[in-house]
Amino acid sequence: MMLQGKVGVVTGAGAGLGLATAIAMAREGAAVVVTGRDPAAGGAVVAEIQEQGGRAVFETVDVIDEEAIQRMVARALSEFGSLDVAYNNAGIESPACPVQDLDMAAVKAAYDINLFSILECMKYEIPAMLEGGGGAIVNATSVWGLNAGAERATYISAKHAISGLTKSAALELAKKNIRVNAVAPGPILTPMLLRDWQGDVEKAAGGVPMGRVGEANEVAEAVVWLCSDRASYITGHVLPIDGGMMCKVG
């Protein structure tokens, strides 16, 4: 098992990529603090992990609440004794809008969730990992954090910032036995994709060279691997999981 004996936290774990990753971490031997805003959804994830013989607890966390993030880390330490791996996943889409028409209050609210929450998670995860002798952090960005598109400035700028944050933190922590990487998914079959594309999965896959959208477990497996000792010489990397989208020019 890749994460045997480790303790992990996953934000936004009630659905989609967070859910798949929490289950994958537990399957690979980690004890997991499952977090999210919906106790019913989070409790269902914990129940599924426990039914499979894993260890997990749920902590209610709204990632724009700094005190909730502190409680998340404290719960890992009090419940399981350490914090070794983290997947900072929670995020939202932003509606298409030309830059000149942006509502700045909406932009700031999106940044709070998509960018500042990851920074705050790292702020509290890192000391716990240092105390335990090291760890691994994976942040959620997007293929839009490696590229650009019209009328998506709010979302794209936040995702680009996560890539920079990941690389900067990786350099800071490289000699302290903490690795920091990010995953950059393309279109993945999640409730968010179905909502954004009005259920048209074929259309969502239109720009993917492999001709299909990804599955949530395909991202989860990559996150688990990056968190594991099998990726021990990898830090500061932003890994596209996109069916080849970033291979294309133009």
Where would I find the beta strands (DSSP E) of 26-152? 31-36, 55-60, 85-88, 135-140
E strands present in 11-108: 31-36, 55-60, 85-88
Confirm if 173 and 180 have CB atoms less than 8 A apart: yes
- Name the active-site residue from 87, 124, 155, 233: 155
Report which of 235, 218, 216 is spatially closest to residue 226, judged by C-alpha positions. 235
Q: Which segments within 55-123 are labelled E, that is strand?
A: 55-60, 85-88
Single-letter residue type at 115: L
Rounded Cα–Cα distance for residues 36 and 164 (Å): 25
The residues, any chain, with a CB within 8 Å of residue 123's CB and separated by 6 or more, are 69
Q: Give CA angle at 128 (38, 67), nearest 5°.
A: 40
Q: What is the C-alpha separation between 62 and 112, in angstroms, rounded?
A: 11
Verify whether residue 155 is a known catalytic residue: yes
Token pair in block for residue 31: 């004890």
Coil, helix or strand for 28?
coil
> Which positions are annotated as active-site residues?
155
